[in-house]
Amino acid sequence: MAQSAPGSPRGTASTTPGSTPTPLFTAVRIDSMADDRKPMPACKCFPVLAGPQSCITNFPAPDISLPRKVGAEFLGTFILIFGATAGPIVNQKYDGAETLIGNAACAGLAVLIVILATGHISGAHLNPSVTIAFAALRHFPWAQVPAYIAAQVSGSICASFALKAVFNPFMSGGVTVPSVGNAQAFALEFIVTFILLFVVTAVATDTRAVGELAGIAVGATVMLNILVAGPASGGSMNPVRTLGPAVAAGNYTSVWVYLVAPTLGALAGAGAYTMVKLQGEGRNAAEARQQSRSFRRPS
C-alpha cells in the first residue's frame, strides 16, 4: 500500500511501484505529445468509506486497452443520451410534467453520474466536440479520435432507438429543433458549448481547479446552459445529442447547426482557457502542462 505524503489525507489507493496515479478523466488528461510524464503530488480528496484506504479521485493506474475505453465511451454516451433525451420526451407525453428545469436536471445529472462512473476508464468525453477539442490541444491522441467518435455516435443512436421503442410515438419531443432562426440557434449553441468546454478544460487540465468536484462542475454547467438555451435551440452542446434522436425520429431539421456550432464552440472554449492558463504561468507553462493531468489538487 502506497504511503500518503505528509499533510495529505491517508485515503489513497495503492499503485504499482514506479507507476503514475491515474486521474479521473484519464483520456482527457494525457498530452499525446509529451514523453517525460511526471507523477502528480499527493492530493486532497474525499475518502470513500466503503473501501479500505481509497478516495474518489485517486485510482490505480491500470493499462487500459483501447477496446475497453471505447466500450466505456459507448455505454457512457448511451446513458447520457437516454437520460438527457428522456426528459423532453416525458415532458411532451405528460403535458409538461418535467418543465424546463426538469429537462435541464435530467441532462446535468446524466453527465454527473457518467463522469463518476466511466471517467477513470475512458475519460468520459461523451461528445465528439470534446474529443476533437482535446485532440486539437494535445490532451488526447488523434489516433484514438475515430474510435471514440464512432462509439459516441453508435451509443447515441442505440439510446435513441431504445427511447423510441419505449415512448413511441412521442420521440419528436427529444429532437433538438430550433424555435428561432438558424443564425440565432447557431450563435446560442456556439456560446453554450464555449462555456461548457471552458469549464471542462479548467477542471480537466489545470491542477489549480477543484478537481474533486469536476463532475458536479460539468453537470451544473450543462444544467445552466439548457436553462439559458433550451427554449430557443434545445441546448444540445453535443452533436450526438442531436444526431441520435434525429435519426430515430427521422427529423433532420437544421441538423447542421448542431454538428458545426458545438464543434467550433468547443475548440474556442478549450482554446480560451488554455490561453488564460498559459498567460498566468509565464515561463513555467511547459512544466505546468506536464503536471496538469489530474483532477486532484496538490497538497
pTM: 0.73
Segment 239-273, tens digit of pLDDT:
999 999 999 999 999 999 999 999 999 999 999 99
**Residue 198: all three cell numbers together:** 471552458
Domains of the chain and any CATH numbers: 66-290 (1.20.1080.10)
Closest CA to 151 of 70, 264, 206: 70
Segment 209-242, tens digit of pLDDT:
666 688 899 999 999 999 999 999 999 999 999 9
Closest CA to 255 of 269, 243, 270: 243
Give the residue carrying C-alpha cell 471552458. 198
Segment 78-103, tens digit of pLDDT:
999 999 999 999 998 898 888 999 99
54-55 and 43-44 strand pairing: unpaired
